[in-house]
Amino acid sequence: MWTLMIHGGAGSMRRGKLDAGMEAACRDGLNAALDAGEAVLAAGGNAVDAVEAVARLMEDDPAFNAGRGSTLTHEGHVECDAAIMSGAERRAGAVAGMRSTRNPISAARAVMEDSPHVLMSKDGADEFAREMGLDQVPNKYFITEERHRQLVELLTKGADAFDADIKYGTIGAVAVDAQGHLAAATSTGGLTAKRWGRIGDSPLIGAGTYADDRAAAVSATGLGEVFIRAAAAHEVCARMRYAGMNLQQALDGVLAEVQEMGGTGGMIAVAPSGEAAWSFTTPGMYRARSGSDGERMVAIFGDE
């Protein structure tokens, strides 16, 4: 028995308002990512391999805000953040502000498995990834015309404009494998026009990403600053372990708290039982689920 749940960001997507080409590209991307994760899990593979496979595919897909197609910084570069966590021994690896490693999620995994550290940043993280033999690319590989257009639009609104309205974003995957082990992965370019080396919740273990075989694997998307303050992904697990909440209650409760603190977004999660759940406080969230029960769901809007 296995379950896979993925997201491609939460935001203001509304039926009839979302560009048809963008909607099709995202649905195709979610389906392809599910296929990649399913191939691992259906063959008896482990949850960490599955969430990494999903994240790599979505990082390569320019439709999502991770790897190629990431949002641009204030200076017009791409700086990627990613994290991966294994629920069995609560091992974790993360990277922040990477500029030249094609698949940040694989760098995060290398941090987890091939270094004594949990979080590496900037040039050092890219240097480590290079030493680990991971693909290096020029920063312009990550930059798409659409993200450039979004940066110009935001900057012309005023230098202090903050991209809290994340229309299509960050990617994440959570899985429980046939052995009952959990894993979570999250990867992002962060917020458009970010500056001063701003880092969001995605690469922070316990904020945007967490996995604990005793509770759940969680990946978040939304206004990172608030998810950090709420320790959102860990808080979901804490509510399950200490308050006896089920997965859905824990997700809904934490997102309500995040909203009270001034942030919107979404989270996906799986439990060791194979249960999958999601919740979001934005109009939509790119999300998809599949499992050994043969059911497959791909959705974007709030009413799906």
Residue with tokens 């030249």: 100
| Cβ neighbours, 10 Å, residue 158 | 8
- Nearest to residue 61, comparing CAs of 86, 36, 39, 92? 36
At residue 258, what are phi and psi to the nearest 5 degrees?
-60, -40
Q: Is 221 in the site for ligand ASP (CB under 6 A)?
A: yes
Confirm whether 144 is a catalytic residue: no
Residue 27 CB contacts under 8 Å (≥ 6 apart), including other chains: 298, 300
**Does 66 participate in binding ligand ASP (rule CB under 6 A)?**
no
> Which position among 222, 263, 284, 291 is part of the footprint of ligand ASP (CB under 6 A)?
222
40 or 288: whose CB is closer to ligand ASP? Answer: 288
- Amino acid letter for position 97: G
- Taking the complex as a whole, how short is the minimal distance between the CB of residue 105 and ligand ASP, in angstroms? 15
How far apart are CB 89 and ligand ASP at their closest, in Å? 26
- Checking DSSP bridges between strand 91-98 and strand 119-121, what pairing results, if any? parallel
Kindly state the number of chain residues that form the binding site for ligand ASP, as judged by CB under 6 A.
15
Q: Is 282 within 8 Å of 11 (Cβ atoms)?
A: yes
**DSSP H/E element including 232:** helix 232-242
- Our finding on whether 291 is near ligand ASP (CB under 6 A) is no
Strands of the 217-222 sheet, one edge to the other: 209-211, 217-222, 265-270, 276-280
What are the start-end ranges of the H helices in 43-136?
47-60, 104-114, 122-131
For ligand ASP, the binding residue among 8, 9, 104, 284 (CB under 6 A) is 9
Nearer to ligand ASP, 41 or 83 (CB): 83
The neighbouring-strand residues paired with 82 are 95, 187
Closest to ligand ASP by CB, 2 vs 280, is 280
Q: Give the residue, chosen from 73, 106, 170, 209, that forms a contact with ligand ASP under the rule CB under 6 A.
A: 170
Stretch that binds ligand ASP, among 37-45, 85-93, 154-162, 163-171 (CB under 6 A): 163-171
User: Residue 289: how many CA atoms within 13 Å on its side-chain side?
Assistant: 19
Please say which residue, 143 or 226, places its beta carbon nearer to ligand ASP: 226
Q: Which of 101, 150, 187, 202 binds ligand ASP (CB under 6 A)?
A: 202
The single residue of 170, 186, 188, 282 carrying the catalytic annotation is 170
Shortest CB 201 distance to ligand ASP, Å: 5
Q: 208: which residues sit within 8 A by CB, 6+ positions away?
A: 83, 170, 172, 186, 200, 201, 202, 219, 220, 221, 224, 227, 228, 232, 233
Choose which of 126, 201, 212, 213 interacts with ligand ASP (CB under 6 A).
201
Residue closer to ligand ASP, measured from CB, 67 or 208? 208
Contact residue for ligand ASP among 191, 205, 240, 268 (CB under 6 A): 191
Which residue ranges make up the site for ligand ASP (CB under 6 A)?
Answer: 9, 65, 166, 169-170, 188, 190-191, 200-202, 208, 221-222, 224
Kindly list the catalytic residues. 170
